[in-house]
Structure 1
Amino acid sequence: MTTTPRSPHLLVLSTVILAVVGGVALLGVPHRHKQRAPATATAAHAATDPSPAAAPPAGRPTVSRPPYPASAASGASTPSALESPLPPHGDGVAGDRAIQHLLEMAWPADLPADDERELLIAGRAVLRADATGVGRAKWPSVFPASNQAVAPAFATARFRIQAAIARRDGSPDKAVVHLVWAGMDRGGTFTDLRISDWHFTRTTSKKGAATWTPQPHT
């Protein structure tokens, strides 16, 4: 079963995700000045049409008629008709770039580029192993033998990491990888915008080589 630790980082990460979804949804609301375009076009038509039917009765304002059926006009003002730039849940990768950008803005980079690259590769792999079971044997300290035999909670084919960043975690030898991901569980339910943190410590081998090691969830 995939585990999601409770930490202050996850609370902030949840806030960032909500900001992505809520902020870009506002972009789908049409501007008020665009709704006046049909009235302007109708008024211009009435000014050039000499027929009696084109002139409105004295003392009454001109009423514009939209160039589409009334049913469509009424539906366009309802929230269900507004389209968000983000795709619906489980509908592809179009919104992943926005999530990645928000994560990078929320947590400015504070690690050397080589360390960040190594942590992101390892963090993605550990999350995949935890969710799908692929590659658990590589980290016996994180996934003991008894855990490796547990059936994976998510299908490999429907697993996707939407965004990820690696940042320092209190000291130069500690780091955390924040991940946002999507997956289909064994019940057939696909959910995106899942969040997970994986913590790492830097260890040095006898030969002096430094390596980032993932820590098991507690």
Structure 2
Amino acid sequence: MTTLPRSPRLLLLSTVVLALTGVGLLCLPPGQGSPIPATPAPTATDQPTEALSAGKGPFGMTPSPTPTGPPSAIVSALPPHGDGPAGDQAVQQSLEAAWPADLPHADERTLLTAGRALLRADATGIGRARWPTVFPSRGGGKAVAPAFATARFRIQAAIARQDGGPDKAVVHLVWAGQDRGGTYTDLRITDWSFTRIIKKGVVTWTPQPRT
């Protein structure tokens, strides 16, 4: 399932998100309501799976230093919670600035397409049949029920980067969704790890199976 980040770099990203949101709250006019918390509450085990590369750094590289400067400059780096699609571009730009590209464009496009589809399948159940090793059925052939509503699911930003070598990569996604309990939260974080396989000159990026 998608959980709190356990690697140092994921923890750094989450800390930056929380810190920038806190600064944004200080700049809000008096009486404005508080945003939805960045950290979702733990839910049932049939929530989307956590990053398949648990315990590893998200990109196998050192992120850029945390932004510094006056509060107005820092707040502009990330949108406030609940900002909706209008703030997604700022999230995307923040990810790209923190982790510079290190993959060929063709590989990056392939990985991003697969990573987005995997996340959507994991969260909403749509398209799980494409990856039977990633989404195995339960006993009796029953699939795990989706944990998030399709209508309230949105990928806010995504990047693909090497993960310790040219034959390993990770797709890092930030997304928003409403769970079955009706709680809507944005700035969720999920990683999907891939391994590159070259067979007869054809390159295939395969998502790593659950461990």
Same structural fold, with TM-score higher than 0.5 when normalized by the shorter chain: yes
Counterparts of 1:56-95 in structure 2, within 5 Å, are: 78=30, 80=32, 89-95=81-87
Contact 2:196 2:204 in 1 (8 A): yes
Q: d(CA) in 1 for partners of 2:25 and 2:136?
A: 46
Higher relative contact order (CA 8 A, sep 6+): 2
Match of 1:179 among 166, 173, 178: 173
The equivalent of 1:132 in structure 2 is 124
Calculate the aligned-residue CA RMSD, in Å: 2.9
Match of 2:209 among 201, 211, 216: 216
Q: Which runs of 5+ in 1 are unaligned?
A: 30-75
Match of 1:103 among 95, 100, 104: 95
Q: d(CA) in 1 for partners of 2:117 and 2:94?
A: 22
The equivalent of 1:123 in structure 2 is 115
Q: Which runs of 5+ in 2 are unaligned?
A: 34-74
Quickly say closer, same or farther: Cα 1:95–1:217, change in 2 above 3 A.
farther
Quickly say closer, same or farther: Cα 1:114–1:148, change in 2 above 3 A.
farther
Shift of 1:208: 1.9
> Is residue 159 from structure 1 mapped to residue 153 from structure 2 by the alignment?
yes
Shift of 1:15: 3.0
Quickly say closer, same or farther: Cα 1:124–1:102, change in 2 above 3 A.
same
What's the secondary structure of 2:182's corresponding residue? coil
Shift of 1:14: 1.2
Quickly say closer, same or farther: Cα 1:96–1:20, change in 2 above 3 A.
farther
> Is residue 150 from structure 1 mapped to residue 141 from structure 2 by the alignment?
no
The equivalent of 1:13 in structure 2 is 13
Q: Which runs of 4+ in 1 moved over 4 A?
A: 26-29, 84-88
Shift of 1:141: 1.3
Rg bigger for which structure? 1
What's the secondary structure of 2:100's corresponding residue? coil
Which structure dedicates a bigger proportion of its chain to helix? 1
